Chain A
Amino acid sequence: DVKVTQSSRYLVKRTGEKVFLECVQDMDHENMFWYRQDPGLGLRLIYFSYDVKMKEKGDIPEGYSVSREKKERFSLILESASTNQTSMYLCASSFGQALLLNTEAFFGQGTRLTVV
C-alpha cells in the first residue's frame, strides 16, 4: 500500500509565524505535489516537484515556498502565515518518468491549518 503521510492533521498558527508542513511518501515516487483545498474552489496546485531539489510553481505559489532535499520528503513553507492561508493542505505523490504515461496521484490525509 502506498503511504503518503503528512506530519500534522491539525495546526493552529499565529499571523506572521513561519509554518512548515511536512510530507513523506514511501513508494519512491519521483513526483510530489502540494495542493490547498477550499470550499467551492476544488484542489489548487501550490507547488510541485518532479525530482530532488527540483520544484515548479503551480497556480497559486504566492506566499509559499517548498523544499525537496530527499526524494521521499516534500515540505511546504509559509514564510509569514496570514489568515487567508487558513485552509486544508493536501500533499500527493505519483510515479513518473520522462515520457511515461501519467499515473495515479496518491494523497496524504491532509493538514487543516488555521491561522489566527
Chain B
Amino acid sequence: GENVEQHPSTLSVQEGDSAVIKCTYSDSASNYFPWYKQELGKRPQLIIDIRSNVGEKKDQRIAVTLNKTAKHFSLHITETQPEDSAVYFCAASTIGYQKVTFGTGTKLQVIP
C-alpha cells in the first residue's frame, strides 16, 4: 500500500519568512496530492491540491510542487503570518480509488 512520509514534524519560523514542508510517497500510481490545514481544536480543511499532470500550483501565498520522478511533493508558504500556525498534513491517493493516505503532520509555528 501507499506510504507517505512528511518532514519536518515541527517547524518554527519568524513572521514574514517562508516555510517549506516536504513529503515523499511510495506508490507510483498515486496521482492526486492534497494538503490539509488543521488549526488547534478544529477539523482538517483542504488548502491546496495538485494532480500529477502538473508540476506546480499556486494560490496566493501558498504553492505546491510535485516531482513525480523522485516521488516527492512540497508545500511552500511565503510571507508567513501568525494565522498560518497550525498542523499541516500532506496526502496521496490514486484517482478512481478513494483511499487517501496521510502523512504524519507538521506543526508550524509562526513567531510574531
What is the CB-to-nearest-CB distance from B73 to chain A, in angstroms, rounded to a whole number?
A: 15
Which A residues touch B45, using CB under 8 A? 107
Interface size class of B (residues with CB under 8 A): 20 to 34
Question: What's the nearest-Cβ distance from chain A to residue B59, in Å?
Answer: 14
Indicate if the CB atoms of A102 and B93 lie closer than 8 Å. Answer: yes
B51 contacts partner chain A, Cβ-Cβ < 8 Å: yes
Which of B34, B42, B100, B101: most chain A Cβ within 10 A? B100
**Given A42-B89, A42-B105, are A96 and B98 neighbors across the interface (CB < 8 Å)?**
yes
A101 touches B51 (CB 8 A): yes
B9 partner residues in chain A, CB cutoff 8 A:
40
Say if the beta carbon of A104 comes within 8 Å of chain B: yes
For chain A, give the interface size range: 20 to 34
B5-18 to A contact mask, C-beta < 8 Å, 1/0: 01001000000000
In the complex, whether B65 has a CB less than 8 A from a CB of chain A is: no
Partner of A110, one of B1, B43, B101, B105: B43
Which stretch from A10-18, A43-51, A63-71, A77-85 is at the chain B interface?
A43-51
> Is B112 at the interface (CB under 8 A from chain A)?
no
Query: Which of chain B's residues have a CB closer than 8 A to the CB of A33?
Result: 100
Cross-chain contact B44 with A90 (CB below 8 angstroms): yes
Chain B interface residues (CB < 8 Å from chain A): 1, 6, 9, 32, 34, 36, 42-46, 49, 51, 89, 93, 95-96, 98-105
Q: A44-B102, A59-B101, A104-B34 are in contact. List 4 more A-B contacts (CB 8 A).
A: A42-B89, A56-B99, A98-B96, A107-B45
